[in-house]
Each structure stands twice: as C-alpha cells, then as structure tokens.
Amino acid sequence: MGAKECIAGGRAVLGIEFGSTRIKAVLVDENNQPIASGAHDWENRLENGIWTYSLEDIWSGLQDCYRKLTEDVQEQYGEKLTKLGAIGFSAMMHGYMAFNEKDELMVPFRTWRNTITEEASNKLTELFRYHIPQRWTIAHLYQAILNGEEHVADLKFVITLAGYIHWRLTGEKIVGVGEASGMFPIDIATGQFNEKMIAQFNEAVAKKGYAWKVQEVLPAVNTAGQQAGVLTAEGVKLLDPTGTLEAGVPVCPAEGDAGTGMAATNSVAKRTGNVSAGTSVFGMIVLEKELSKVYDAIDLVTTPDGSLVAMVHCNNCTSDLNAWVNLFKEYSELMGQKVDMNELYGNLYRKALEGDDDCGGLLAYNYFSGEHVTGFNEGRPLFVRTPDAKFNLANFMRVHLFTSLGALKTGFDILFREEEVQVDEILGHGGLFKTKGVGQSVLAAAMNAPVSVMETAGEGGAWGIALLASYMVNKEAGESLARFLNSKVFAGQKGEKLDPAQKDVEGFDAFMKRYSAGLAIERAAVESI
C-alpha cells in the first residue's frame, strides 16, 4: 500500500541508466527502495571502424525501457505513472557526440570502447601533465582535430551520452561533476573544468582558427543535489510517447556509470572505495589528497559531489574464468550429468578456497583483449605451469580467480605502495561476488583491505542515479551526499564484511611476483599466435 500511495501521489523517483548492453529503469519509494523496474537490451555496433549506437537505438531503447517500467507499475500496483517526484539519467561514461548550431549530430556517436585516440591521449597528457585516457571526450575531440576532420570547424557543442539524453529531455546542457570529470579535467577546488588546462588547450589549437573556444562547446557542470532543469513537454514525448507522464518533473544532473556505481555502493566518502567485477573490472578509491605524479594506470575522476577519485580500469576480468567453467559444464554433460550453472559456479568457486595460498605455483592470464594497465594492445588467454607445480582443481580455480584481479592489483599497488593511499573499506559488486565469500575473500587478499558485499549491490547504476535524484529533492539543509546515503539509504542494510586473512594476502603477493615476471610469456604469445 505504501508504494501504491507513493506512486499515486507523484512522490516516486525514477532513475534510468544506459549501460553497454542494457538500458535499465528503477523506480524507488520514499525510503529509496526499488519498487518497480523496466529494461531494454541493446548492443553497440562496429561501423567503419567505430563502436557506436545510432540515435534510433538510443530513443527506441529509452522508450521501450520506460514502457516496460510503466507496465510493471500497472501490473504490481494498478496505477498509471502520471507524476514523479524527480528523475535522473545516467550512462556509460566518456565518448564523443558532436553537434553543430542546428543541433545536428555531425559524426556517429563514438563510445568509450573506441581505442582510436592514442596520439591525442599522449599529447594531452604531456600538455596538461595530467593523465588523459583515450576514452575521454577531450581526447576524442583533439584526435578529430589532429586528423583534420571537417566537422570540427562547425562544432557548437560536445557531450556524452548521459548529457545528450539530459539535454534533449530538459533543454539544459548540464552534466554532473562526476560525468564531467570523464570529459575534461576538473579543478577539485572549484568543482568546474580546470581553467588552466582550458587555456592550454585553446592555445594548442589556436593556429587552426576555429570560431569556438573549448569552454564554449563543453556543457555546464553541476554538483549532486543541484537541480539541473525539469522534464519539458518535448522531453515527455521522447520518453513517453503516450503522453501519460506530466511535464515539469525536477531532473538531477546527468551522471556517468562510475558516479552511479559509487552511489549504489555507498562509497562517496573519503577513504571508501568500490570494485565492480564482471566481464571487465574497475576499482575506485575516494582520495584524501592529490596524487604526487601522473600514472598511466590511474584515471582521476570525481564522486557525484566533487571529491577526487582514483580509478583503475581493466578490460579483462571473468571472461576466461567463464570459459573454463563452460568447459567443465561440457565434461559434466558428456558424463551424462545435468548441470545447474549456479551450482557449478558455486562448487568450483568454493573449491578454490581449498587451494594453496599462492595457487601452488600455477600461472594464468585472462587477457581476452589488450590490457592498458600492463601495457598490452592485444591479449591471449594463457594457462602456464612448471612440471613441479601443484596442479589440482583447487589451485586451478584459485589461479583463475586470482588472475581475474591481476591487472587491477597492479594498478592498486601504485596507490597503496607508492602513493600510500588509505582506504577503510572496499565495497564489492558484480558477478565475481555472487558465490558467497569467495570473490570477496580473493579481493580482500588482493587489496589487503576489508571488503563488504551489500545485498543491494546488484541493483546497479539505475538505482544509483535514482538515489542521486532522490537526494536532490529529499535532502535536508546542509546534508551531504555521504550523510544522506548513510542515514536514508543504507542505514540498517544487511551486508557482510570480510577482513583479509594474512596468509591469503601473502599468497596473493607471491602470485603477483609470478604474474609480473610472466608477462614476458604473454607478450611472446601475442607476438607469436
């Protein structure tokens, strides 16, 4: 009854996130708990060497996702969704959408997945003395300039996918500071784009004679809690072609999936961190101070409320592990056994806990693709052992769990050992943590820090952006985002905290020595096969 009344009274809050394979909508009640959802599956496509989604993909996907949400609301509560308390939009970060003065998209949307900006990334990193990953919007723009692409002269506005959705639905060219931090470096003191670096960029391209300056084509930057417009009548038509939803809904700043992941795991306060581990893996720690120097392995972004965050982003995590589990599935079926995949994963993962601390001398690399952190443009999955290594099932599963976090550990060792970054707790979420206690204990060993897994960690970024929209309309005067999450979202939530076992920490360190030394084997495989 509470959820039904919340919906009927127009107090429910909606979050919609565009992930790489799914668009998801989550509706939350006044206690910030999910009460309805909808989803639409989609895939990027490779066109003329560019990973992209079409505008038709974007809008048809959004409308289908929203329609499925309204159907869920109708089925569960017998209510039409006519009013909302607030709404927020999020998407995978980075990428490049370039528009002219007629608001026309001039080149196909270039997603974060493209690795076509290496020259721009290197030159901007040197110019700014600040790491600019290939995925960032400014790297895409500068690469287009270096390539002499004709559309750059007509540029009026550049934006990310989340910012594009927000703009079309509200008329406002505004992104959240977390999303903005994946477009162009942020000055942590002001919460805005770094003015010194803006001047450096403008000077670097001055000879081109463009009619625009970079600050003129970037969106405005808002911090979590600020209102970034309202859903317009035109926006309603794009979201809900039936026109059932009323216009005027307050909209929070558009955020990226990193920011929504931080909100969904309650890791926006300093000295907190989170690791998302599935097909790929990335980890983030909210810093107490700036790093002492630039590291290629470390990206610097911000929380939705503007605190500096160190991110280690790795392309490979569980794909090779999944391939081996599927091999065991094939064997089981060959022997006439019916296989429940959840049971198979659970049994194999738990078997890893019986292995030797250092995996018995076994070595594996999970590189389906290249891995920037360790310097690979391509990958070859490998399993390697010496004749006297302890080759058994427990060690075999253990080494594949360890190597799924090997590149991540390489990046985090820079933070922990060279920069002496402190973290009180890390939140784990994603497929690696589905089997209770296993992925959690491996991550705790890798990070040498306590790891918690919350029951709600599976709700994902759509819930995270719903929380940010809720914070905008429901926060008390002076209430920080961290306090709001602690007191109004996660208070009393069940979660299991696991401290690292010293023998596992020592075992992972021993494995990492083998992992680092063996990278030459991986390099030879890339060159030879």
Angle ∠(298,302,305) on CA atoms, nearest 5: 165
Question: What are the strands, taking DSSP E only, across 270-385?
Answer: 272-277, 281-286, 299-302, 308-314, 363-365, 382-384
pLDDT at 494 over 80: no
pLDDT at 456 over 80: no
Distance CA 391, CA 471 (A): 52
Give the bridge partners for 379, in sequence order: none
- Give the mean pLDDT of the chain: 95
Q: What is the pLDDT of residue 457?
A: 58
Which of 162-166, 289-293, 450-454 is the least confident region?
450-454
All structural domains of the chain with their residue ranges: 319-403+503-528
> One-letter amino acid identity for 216?
E
Encode 243-267: b = buried (16+ Cβ within 10 Å), e = exposed: eebeeebbbbbbbbbbbbbbbbbbb
Helix 137-146 vs helix 118-128: angle between axes, to the nearest 10 degrees?
A: 110
Residue 343, number of CB atoms within 10 A of its CB: 9
pLDDT at 458 over 70: no
Distance CA 168, CA 256 (A): 17
For the chain, state the CA radius of gyration. 23
Give one DSSP letter per residue of 406-464, joined into a string. HHHHHHHHIIIIIS----SEEEEESGGG-STTHHHHHHHHHHTS-EEEEGGGGGHHHHH
What average pLDDT does this structure show over 7-23?
95
Contact in structure between 26 and 459 (CB atoms under 8 Å): yes
Percentage of residues of the chain with pLDDT beyond 90: 89
Q: What is the pLDDT of residue 52?
A: 95
> pTM for the full model?
0.89
Residue 324, number of CB atoms within 10 A of its CB: 17
> One-letter amino acid identity for 516?
S
Contact in structure between 112 and 93 (CB atoms under 8 Å): yes
Q: What is the pLDDT of residue 277?
A: 87
Task: Determine what percent of the chain falls in helix, strand and coil, rounding each to the nearest 5.
Answer: 45, 20, 40
Tokens encoding 457: 């960690």
CA dihedral 212, 111, 284, 353 (to 10 degrees): -170
Q: What is the pLDDT of residue 278?
A: 83
More confident residue, 375 or 213: 213
Q: What is the pLDDT of residue 1?
A: 66
Q: What is the pLDDT of residue 238?
A: 97
Helix 460-474 vs helix 481-488: angle between axes, to the nearest 10 degrees?
A: 110
Q: What is the pLDDT of residue 377?
A: 83
Residue 189, number of CB atoms within 10 A of its CB: 8
Distance CA 528, CA 523 (A): 9
Q: For 92-148, what is each residue's pLDDT tens digit?
A: 999 999 999 999 999 999 998 888 999 999 999 999 999 999 999 999 999 999 999
- In this structure, are strands 451-454 and 425-429 parallel, antiparallel, or unpaired? parallel
What average pLDDT does this structure show over 235-261?
96
Percentage of residues of the chain with pLDDT beyond 70: 99
pLDDT at 441 over 90: yes
